[in-house]
Amino acid sequence: MTYDEALEYIHGIYWRGSKLGLSRTEEILELLGNPQKQLKFVHVAGTNGKGSTCAMLASIFRKAGYKTGLYISPYIVRFNERMQFNGEPISDDELAEITEYVSIFAESMKDKPTEFELVTAIGMEFFKRKNCDIVILETGLGGELDSTNVIDVPEAAVITAIDIDHIKELGGTIESVASAKAGIIKKGGDVVFYGNNSVASTVFARKCQEMDANLIEANFEKLNIKDSTIDGAIFDYSVEDTIYENVHIPLPGTYQVYNCALVLTVIEVLKKRFTLDKESVITGIADVKWPGRFEVLRRNPIFIADGGHNPHGIQGTADSIRHHFQNRKIIAIMGVMGDKDVSPMLDILAPLVKSAYTVKPNNPRAMDPEVLAEYFRNRGIRATACNEIEQGVASALKEANADDIICALGSFYMYGDIAAAVDKLSN
């Protein structure tokens, strides 16, 4: 099997759709000899901030000298990013070889796995072969019935900021979303929650009591932000008896400091099982890379790409715009999935937008750009629907003056096309 054949197989008709439940993942992993049972995990669920949190944790573990796996969803530019070892995506040859091996067992199953379940099995086999000391494991959707939840008790279960998203699968209330995420809480485990949501906190506290698990919440009152620019932030944070001073996080966006405080809280829990000295923690954070979250792709005009795709995420983007640009209005390039409730997002964003170009992210579930444009027009904002993402980028750049701000947001599925278009049109 070649690399292209592997991708064609993974994305094939067999595996399309979403079917909740763990039975298929458990079956294929059993056929593979349960590679997940030979690994240790930090399991990360939540609505917003999962990717950034995972990237920080993986960077810290690498700096501390551990063989580190990272499993994320979705990928940003290239499929191989879904599974990484020591900061490097799986190679084309490895992906082809392991996919061919896993396919033998997938084909033998009466109830075929979904694409995400198949990819999870490939990832577990990859991490086992790399003999990882730790795997930072991001859930795909929800928690309880997410295919990653086949693991035993993780070294820590981490739940990032909670908001209403994926209504069809998780329900339309904070309580229903939190209940789904609480599914990663296992008996006797350590659980670290972002906090700042009393309804979700109640759900997690109740679940932890049922499972005899230990719940810790990040304490943002112990956070002191000293400096914050579009190039990152410097802050102090104290957790338990550890005081972190002058921590530099290179990820822009005001919300990243809070994600980092969550990570430092997690690290304090993990110190019981791993050697994670303060220098490794601080340098790991300083070296972290995570594209597509308030990322500056160019200057003059400033062009920002942000993956915010629900009200909480868009609020973080809006807060960052206000903080860094003093309420200056932006030229928006926006694409969203068709199943999103757009109105709450645009209610947050609209006061900051002077014009909008709507595009279609690279996903069959994406909303028609003309439909999205009408949402903007209904709020008195000039909006132009674009047939191609590059057209949207070109139009925004043509409109912008040197001191304008362009912000592309609404979906991670359009990041690769956005970044490629900006690079092409800036040269």
- At residue 322 the predicted structure's pLDDT band, cuts being 50, 70 and 90, is very high
Residue in 251, 232, 315 with CA at minimum distance from that of residue 47: 315
Q: What whole-number distance in Å separates Cα of residue 401 and Cα of residue 360?
A: 25
- For the stretch 23-51, pLDDT in tens is 999 999 999 999 999 999 999 999 889 99
* One-letter amino acid for residue 303 of the chain: F
Mean pLDDT across the stretch 136-165?
88
- At residue 410 the predicted structure's pLDDT band, cuts being 50, 70 and 90, is very high
Query: Which pLDDT does position 12 carry in this prediction?
Result: 84
The angle formed by the CA atoms of residues 308, 427 and 302, to the nearest 5 degrees, is: 40
Token pair of 413 as six digits: 């599925």
- For the stretch 326-356, pLDDT in tens is 878 999 999 999 988 899 999 999 999 999 9
On the 0-12 / 13-18 / 19+ scale of CB atoms within 10 A, 373 is buried
What domains can be seen in the chain, in order of their start residue? 3-286 (3.40.1190.10), 295-426 (3.90.190.20)
Reduced to 3 states (helix: H, G, I; strand: E, B; else coil), residue 391 is helix
More confident residue, 299 or 77: 299
Query: Which pLDDT does position 69 carry in this prediction?
Result: 98
Beta-carbon contacts of 215 under 8 Å, excluding residues fewer than 6 positions away, are 191, 192, 193, 204, 205, 208
The secondary structure of residue 357, as a DSSP letter, is E
Q: Flag the least confident range among 159-168, 304-313, 360-369.
A: 159-168
- For the stretch 107-140, pLDDT in tens is 999 999 999 999 999 999 999 999 999 999 999 8
